[in-house]
């Protein structure tokens, strides 16, 4: 059974939000065991995977190399509703995104990348590391 089961209310809401939202929170754990939430751009593959681009020397990558278990979550409503939290295992691909991943990322963030004064090629040269998260659990309300 898929992690995000769209036949359920929670799964359907999670799928819509993962498809539509521009930022999610990636939570890694530092060497002292402290959770480290970081807002990131992402691409959801429509199944059980999320792709995040990163600059090469970041704390989130150091944390994942030491402990690949991560959580990702979307912002809740102001009153604390519409909670979507996913857990999974992250892997690091230092060779950059696959062509399909890059095309999807570029389609989603083209205006944002250009708003930073960058081109997609420049963005991917700077954010050259691909973090792949294989999702294994969804919870929320």
Q: pLDDT tens digits for 97-127?
A: 677 888 999 999 999 999 999 999 999 999 9
Which pLDDT score is estimated for 110? 95
Which pLDDT score is estimated for 72? 98
Which pLDDT score is estimated for 109? 97
Q: Assign 72 to helix, strand or coil.
A: strand
* CA–CA distances in Å: residue 47 to residues 90, 120, 130, 134: 15, 25, 18, 9
Answer whether 0.85 is exceeded by the pTM. Answer: yes
Task: Give the residue among 140, 34, 22, 39 at the shortest CA–CA distance from 87.
Answer: 140
Which pLDDT score is estimated for 101? 84
CA dihedral in degrees (70, 51, 141, 76; nearest 10)?
A: 100
CA 122/CA 108 separation, integer angstroms: 16
- C-beta separation of 84 from 13 below 8 A: yes
Domains of the chain, by residue range, sit at 9-140
- Mean pLDDT for 25-41 is 97
Q: Which fold has domain 9-140?
A: Pnp Oxidase; Chain A (2.30.110)
Which pLDDT score is estimated for 96? 62
Cα 114 to chain centroid, rounded? 20
**What would the pLDDT profile of 34-86 be if each residue is shown by its tens digit?**
999 999 999 999 999 999 999 999 999 999 999 999 999 999 889 888 999 99
């Amino acid at each position: 059974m898929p992690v995000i089961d769209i036949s359920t209310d929670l799964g359907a809401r999670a799928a819509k939000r993962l498809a539509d939202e521009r930022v999610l929170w990636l939570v890694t754990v530092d060497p002292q065991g402290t959770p480290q939430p970081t807002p990131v751009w992402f691409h959801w593959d429509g199944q059980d995977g999320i792709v995040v681009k990163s600059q090469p020397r970041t704390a989130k990558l150091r944390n994942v190399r030491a402990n690949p278990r991560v959580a990702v979550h979307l912002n809740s409503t102001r009153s604390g509703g519409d909670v979507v939290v996913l857990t999974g295992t992250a892997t690091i691909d230092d060779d950059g995104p696959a062509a399909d991943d890059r095309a999807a990322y570029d389609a989603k963030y083209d205006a944002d990348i250009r708003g930073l004064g960058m081109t997609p090629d420049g963005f991917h040269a700077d954010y050259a590391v691909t973090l792949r998260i294989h999702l294994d659990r969804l919870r929320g309300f």
